[in-house]
Structure 1
Amino acid sequence: METSVNQYYKISMVSSNENPNQPALFLHGESPVWDAETQTLYFVDVHAQNIHKLNYITGKISTKHIGYGQVNVVSLISGSKRLLVSVRAALYLMDWEVAGDASLRLLASLDEGEPDNMINDGKADVEGRFWVGTKGPQIGDEVTPDHGTLYSVQQDTRAHVRAALRPVSVSNGIAFALNNSLVYYIDSSTQKIEAFDFDSQKGEISGRRTIIDVTSYGYDNAIPDGMTIDSKGHLWVALMFGGAVLHIDPDKREVVYGYKLPVSRTTSVCWGGPDMDELFVTTGRDSATAIAEPLAGALFTIRSTGSRGVPTPAFRFDNADSY
């Protein structure tokens, strides 16, 4: 890997509300998404069943608890104050201002007939479709292989979600090329970042091929997790169990740089901040490594990478506020 670039980058952590001198810690942070209009970062804590929002200006974190299952995904909805969230294997519209689970409006159920499956990750495309994938039954860190599916959901066919790819084991990071001709995709169990040709008008993918196999870079025990794209079309990928974020040039099919973090469970990434040049990194923790990794579960920011993000599309649902 190239090591002559980005040597002056800075890593910091978001502070706890209660103790500004200590980092805020979460069980399993995931799905960070930046709202440029409100200068807010949304993310979830999967196992605590919480959705969080970080006010960038004040540094304060607000929390909304969902009482009946894993919350793996949060996403923006175009022109709406509501959010799109996943609970277990269903998608809901959520109103932050309404108390409790009454804030949820069921949009679509996935993987019916597979009651132990979970939605795991999702992103909207340029047309406002939401691409969302599932994973099979999980015990600890082990997931039953080949039980998941990658779907696309759009407002006019939400009752009939469209299966785009199956089987998958742990459907994870999704990113769309800047010209919308490709979709980059991660099924974590493959340990690969892959690409498909993408017809954005029809919402169809084809021509699957490998961009990077992380085992080729010495990450034999790591799996690629969440992913985002920057203004140069480069990919940034969190390595679960690898304690790193990889900066990847997909055209050259090579890793540009690896950013090491002081925790092993690096889960997802997104660009944010006023200039879109801060990379937010969610992480998780577990009891086995709690003593060795006191910062596990923190929300990190990586600055001065020389890269910046681009505005990401939001889910299109025209009557979201009245649904």
Structure 2
Amino acid sequence: MTGGIEIDAVVESRTDLGESPVWDERTQRLYFIDINGQTIHIWNNKSKSHDHITMPEMVGTIILAPNEEQLVVALTRTIVLLDLKSRKPVGDPLFTVPEEHGVDKMRFNDGKAAPGGAVIIGRMHADWRKGAPGRLYKIDLRTKQWEEILSPDEVGLPNGMAWDVKKQTMYFVDTYKSCIWEFRTDDRGVPVKSGSGVYEKREIVKVSQEEGIPDGMTIDRMMNLWVALADGGAVASYNPVSGKQLVKVKLPVNKPTACTFGGAFMEQLFVTTRVEKGESAPEHWGALLSVKNPGISGAAGAYIASL
């Protein structure tokens, strides 16, 4: 505990690349993934039990489905509906990326359900550190309609997302460019085009190399952003209006990857982490962490309205 802040290792999951923490208030479960380990982890906050499901390929992100016993799972190139009881996909894929949008070394990365239920999801290139670009999509899985929001000319590594519904604003992390952008949205939380016919974005936060690499992101009840600073060993809060850092919480690991609020009162900030090697590797690398910061809580995330 530091200054009233409580940090605990909830699950010593030893994820190689932990990501996509998703809280389901309906079941009081926290889902997260190990991308490289091809695994979906399930933490039951009521029974304090941990389970996992092995998938046939890399998992880029997971999104809550209308049925609480199912998950929408983005694999390398396809999006499927997973039944949690049988641990198998249901029916045909919900969406498949066209080959002309890149297959080799490309995979789905972070994605979430917008407040109205549409999916906003990115794809990334394995060589993103060398400048290989990604893409960002909006997808209606029910109607199969989709559109590219950001092309390879516009985004490096698409990552964390969060919404301020009242302001009709979506916040979005481009990890390669080390910044957070904001988009204007419609009342369903989907970015809208300007009069010139493009999806206009505005940079609101620039993260310095000394601070770390911005990765997964969420938002608290005061509409301040919380970002995992990969290689920075911390999660930090930013005011999206001023762009200023408000709080920085040092973690017992060096490589946090993503964060989301959860818990009975949405008072826990769950943080995923990844592998760290060598003699100096911290004890809790790859663990699911919980951060409790007095007076700070979040709101439940959205799930896909219908399929």
Q: State the TM-score, normalized to the length of structure 2.
A: 0.90
1:95 and 1:104 in contact (8 A); partners too: no
The 1:143/1:314 distance shift into structure 2, 3 A limit, reads same
User: Paired residue for 1:70?
Assistant: 58
After TM superposition, give the deviation of residue 54 of structure 1 in Å: 0.3
| 2:165 maps to 1:172 | no
| 2:120 maps to 1:131 | yes
- Trace 1:107-122 onto structure 2 (pairs within 5 A): 107-110=94-97, 112-113=99-100, 114-115=102-103, 116-122=105-111
1:178 and 1:233 in contact (8 A); partners too: no
User: Paired residue for 2:207?
Assistant: 214
The 1:88/1:144 distance shift into structure 2, 3 A limit, reads farther
Instruction: Tell me the SS of whatever aligns to 2:93.
Output: strand
What is the root-mean-square deviation in Å for CA atoms of aligned residues?
Answer: 2.0
Percent identity of equivalent pairs: 30
User: Paired residue for 1:321?
Assistant: none
User: Paired residue for 1:14?
Assistant: 10
User: Paired residue for 1:185?
Assistant: 172
User: Paired residue for 2:196?
Assistant: none
The 1:104/1:270 distance shift into structure 2, 3 A limit, reads farther
User: Paired residue for 1:249?
Assistant: 239
1:286-306 Cα deviation digits (max 9, x unpaired):
43x464323211111001342
Separation (CA, whole Å) in 2 of partners of 1:202 and 1:84: 19
User: Paired residue for 2:26?
Assistant: 37
Separation (CA, whole Å) in 2 of partners of 1:30 and 1:296: 13
Separation (CA, whole Å) in 2 of partners of 1:186 and 1:197: 15
State which of 83, 92, 97 in structure 1 corresponds to 2:80.
92
The 1:178/1:7 distance shift into structure 2, 3 A limit, reads farther
1:126 and 1:180 in contact (8 A); partners too: no
Instruction: Tell me the SS of whatever aligns to 1:33.
Output: strand
* Partner amino acid, structure 1, of 2:227: V
1:150 and 1:164 in contact (8 A); partners too: yes
State which of 135, 146, 165 in structure 2 corresponds to 1:161.
146
1:84-121 Cα deviation digits (max 9, x unpaired):
0111122111111114x555741112252321201110
The 1:303/1:203 distance shift into structure 2, 3 A limit, reads closer
2:262 and 2:300 in contact (8 A); partners too: no
After TM superposition, give the deviation of residue 124 of structure 1 in Å: 0.9
- Give aligned pairs, total: 296
Q: State the TM-score, normalized to the length of structure 1.
A: 0.86
| 2:200 maps to 1:226 | no
User: Paired residue for 1:20?
Assistant: none
State which of 260, 263, 271 in structure 2 corresponds to 1:281.
271
Separation (CA, whole Å) in 2 of partners of 1:109 and 1:31: 20
